Chain A
Amino acid sequence: MIKTTKLQFSYTPDSEFHFPDISLAEGEHLLILGASGVGKTTLLHLLSGLLPVSSGNITIDATELPSLSRKQLDAFRGRKMGIIFQNDYFISSLSVSENLALRLYFPDKKKDIKRIRELAARLGILDQLDKKVTALSEGQRQRLSIAIALINKPKVIFADEPTASLDDENCEKVIELLKEEASLSKANLLIITHDQRVKTMFKNHLQL
């Protein structure tokens, strides 16, 4: 469940972002569209609590984000959210499976090998588990970042251009997987994209 009201944010006093209110019931999906510079990524960072709001309110899973302390926000994010960033980031000193296990460590979850292998198999990176992340191809990296976002069965999945470097076949597979995972845990799925292929796969759109 996500609800935002009169969300505002400004990096500098003379540039202010005003965002339309969002209201999603449990398990609903939303595609966020818009030209570069309109604040798509900023909205995602506000919703995930990485940026503090200037004014307005965000409620996720019955929790008001602005009322949480920084530490509570970190814990909340670790437990309830899965984020796929526009650029993929990993811990370069760790292997693929260790990167997945690390995502489970911070929200105090046990290392779940079965879950890691199952997710890796569905994303087609099962045979890459023991490799260093630096040895992966561009497409494999993107799929790994998706796997990391899904591994803790989040209540909200944020995805910033998740299909940018995927071919048609993998693009469809990834969106299907995101939808499937979201519905399994009744999670909200918010995708930021300008990918025309994705547009047709969702009916709920928000144009910024």
Chain B
Amino acid sequence: MNLVKLSFKNLVSKPLNALLSLLLLVLSVALVTFMLQLSEQVKGNLDKNIKPVDLVVGAKGSPLQLVLSSVLHIDAPTGNIKLIEAEKLKKSRLIKTAIPVSYGDNYKGVRILGTDSTYFAMYHANLKMGRFFSKSHEVVLGSTSAKKLKLKLGDTFLSSHGLADQSLQEHHGHPFVVVGVLESTGSVVDNLIVTNLESIWDVHGHAEEEHKHEDLEITSLLIQFRNPMAMVQLPRYINDKTNMQAALPSLEINRLVRLLGVGVQTIQLIAIAILLVSGLSIFISLLKAIRERRQELALLRTYGATSGQLLWLVLLEGLFLGLIGFIFGWLIGRIGLWVIAAYAQDSYGYSLSLGLPTTWEAILLVATLAITALASILASLSVFKLNVSKILSTEK
């Protein structure tokens, strides 16, 4: 028998007394864990996807929309740009790589992206099976798309017009054939069907005739800079001197994250408020427990326990409460994230993973224990004023 065991037994012998404090603690820890993980993962995901792309050049319109559509593939494009103009731009010595991308079709809601092989290199996407496309109407599937669409090598399909799975009218006469499947990269490539630019041009009415070079259009150009100077010069040049627009993904996404951040912060403030209330609740329930058990505490003094040891006893009980609350809250937060992740994967093709505990969660654990410890110490200070003689001679 020792203090740790005794405080635990005291806690579990009357579980209802601490139930409210525990529930509040679980709720707040679950909320914080969930929000921390969610915002961290979303931000991590966004960063990972936009990092390879320094600049997007596309049709004039909303720069955020351009980034969302061309880099993250979650919005409609702002329009198209002329291939000739894009190629002119490509010659700039400020540009290391420029990758043309083009849209127009989907298959069962999965976007078909026309580009060239440099796109794979940009996201470090390697083949799991098959090969890369070498001619029109050959496609390579991202790992998630392959699973979702249940397509194998050699399978063919007809695409639908538009970017979402809404249009009933299918394109005829241009079946796509699957020639390769990519390994999972954890980036947007996983959720795409990738083909060459010619395929996109073909299905949009240039099929029978010779492609006239000056008529060809692409959706946008993904650019990697050669040096930091490009970041200053290139966007200004494009926005001022051409009828295209340049958008910096990092800037636009930061703007978006800041907007989302207000919501995240609000929820976190609510969670912290609940955490403080749960600290208060622990304080009150321990104070009540001390009052109920004052005879037992007085008895321990006659056994040779010092007031300091009694303080430890109450403090440990509070810390147990904090620890149990944290563990359950953390588990519930994680399970919540796991449920949302499954949903996000289905609805947005957005993958969330349950990573290892982060530093933030360690800080949350320390904060939870600190609050419960503070509440317990404040509550247990009354053991120093325990009148042992009076309690043990007059009360039963």
Contacts and interface: CB of A to CB of B under 8 A. Distances in A.
B84 to A, nearest CB: 84
B382 interface: no
B9 A75 contact: no
A34 B327 CA distance: 58
Given A89-B299, A91-B296, A79 B304 contact: yes
Interface in B272-315: 295-296, 298-309
Contacts of A92: 13, 296
B388 interface: yes
B393 interface: yes
Nearest to A134: B13
A41 B394 CA distance: 10
A77 B299 contact: no
Nearest to B5: A98
A194 to B, nearest CB: 16
Interface string A73-91: 0111111010101110111
A207 interface: no
A114 interface: no
A111 interface: yes
A93 B1 contact: no
B379 to A, nearest CB: 18
A45 B2 contact: no
Interface string B338-361: 000000000000000000000000
Interface residues of A, number: 34
B392 interface: yes
A178 B307 CA distance: 30
A102 interface: yes
A87 B296 CA distance: 12
B393 A91 contact: no
Contact of A50 (B6, B306, B389): B389
B388 A93 contact: no
**Which of A48, A70, A74, A103 is most buried by chain B, counting CB atoms within 10 A of its CB?**
A74
B49 interface: no
Given A94-B6, A106-B309, A89 B304 contact: no
B258 to A, nearest CB: 52
B392 A89 contact: yes
Interface in A181-206: none
A160 B315 CA distance: 33
Contacts of B388: 50
Given A92-B13, A101-B1, A107 B296 contact: no
B393 A78 contact: no
Contacts of A83: 302
21 contacts: A45-B389, A45-B393, A48-B302, A51-B389, A71-B306, A71-B308, A78-B304, A85-B392, A89-B296, A90-B299, A91-B6, A92-B296, A93-B6, A93-B9, A93-B14, A94-B1, A101-B1, A102-B1, A102-B6, A102-B300, A105-B2
Interface of A: 41-42, 45, 48, 50-51, 70-71, 74-79, 81, 83, 85-87, 89-94, 98, 101-107, 111
